[in-house]
Amino acid sequence: MIYWNGCSFVQGAENEFQHQFPTLVGKHFHSDWWRNSKVGGSNDRIWRTTMDDMIRKPADLVIIVWSGINRFEYLTKENIWRSAVWINHAFNRYTLEMHPRSEIHFHPDMTLDQWNAIQGMGTKVRSMRSNIIESMNYMISIKYFLEAKGIPYLFYNMSDGQIKWARKTLNDEKQEGANIVWKTEHMKEKDYYAELPFLNEIAFYDMCKKAKVPFGPKDHPLEEGNRLMAERIIKDIYKHGYDKIITK
């Protein structure tokens, strides 16, 4: 059994079911699979649901395509998990500050006060400097969680579009603040990339852009791009010998 998690790219947005790369990989290995990806899904959601799912229903192999670092989720008073999805996302590549025109989707169930709170969180509180650290900590956390559970895994990145501008900030000196402020030792860029070597590989979106495959109106790779990703994952499964544990 293969378990998949990620965002709309894993969900197969803008593609028929038979052309989505999780379907192609499952068919190639004649393997059962299930998917808990979500359109607009964030890395904190991937962290939450993968841990929850693999405690309750462990799979033979976990495959995750990690999402954008600036996405997040929140739990409503009705106990509904909602994704904070950007309908307009822009930032200054030098300061990493969010542009005033950046906007999070106004869900029909939201009040204006709730949207203002989420919009303020996304543009003024959760900076790219903190988002990249949180996302990488989620990745490391799931890595060691799966290893502790004895569950093999493959990690990929959805896009390098935000990470490539923020990664150098991992080397910035950080401080702790309470009644006083003090310097603290912390992981740097080389430490994170040593823990997460898959981040040195080309991301799914970037791979498809480089290959100049067709994209849909909502900027998702279509059939050709999904086939490229399926071939890449199939190759990795054979390389690690995971075919022996997922093939019926």
The mean pLDDT value for 27-54 works out to 97
**Tens digit of each residue's pLDDT (9 = 90 or more) over 143-161:** 999 999 999 999 999 999 8
| 2-5 vs 33-35, strand pairing mode | parallel
Angle, CA of 202, 207 and 210, to the nearest 5°? 120
Q: Which pLDDT band, with edges at 50, 70 and 90, does 88 fall under? A: confident
Q: Which pLDDT band, with edges at 50, 70 and 90, does 135 fall under? A: very high
CA distances from 222 to 1, 64, 178, 185, 236 (A): 25, 19, 50, 44, 21
Q: Give me the phi and psi of 60, to 5 degrees please.
A: -80, -30
Percent of the chain scoring above 90 in pLDDT: 85
Q: In sequence order, which ranges of 58-203 are alpha helices (DSSP H)?
A: 112-120, 128-149, 163-166, 189-195
The alpha carbon of 51 is separated from its chain's Cα centroid by a whole number of angstroms, namely 14
Nearest to 74 by CA among 134, 127, 115, 35: 115
Token reading at 172: 């910035």
| 61-66 vs 81-84, strand pairing mode | unpaired
Q: Phi/psi class of residue 93: alpha, beta or left (left: φ > 0; alpha: ψ in -120 to 50)?
A: alpha
Nearest to 57 by CA among 3, 131, 128: 3
Q: How many CA atoms within 13 Å lie on the side-chain side of 80?
A: 7
Least confident of 28-37, 105-114, 199-208, 233-242: 105-114
Does the pLDDT value for residue 248 go beyond 80? no
Domains of the chain: 2-79+128-246 (3.40.50.1110)
Q: Which pLDDT band, with edges at 50, 70 and 90, does 216 fall under? A: very high
Average pLDDT, the chain: 95
- Contacts of 87-96 with CB under 8 Å at 24 or more apart are 91/128, 91/162, 91/165, 93/165, 96/127, 96/128, 96/129, 96/165, 96/166, 96/169
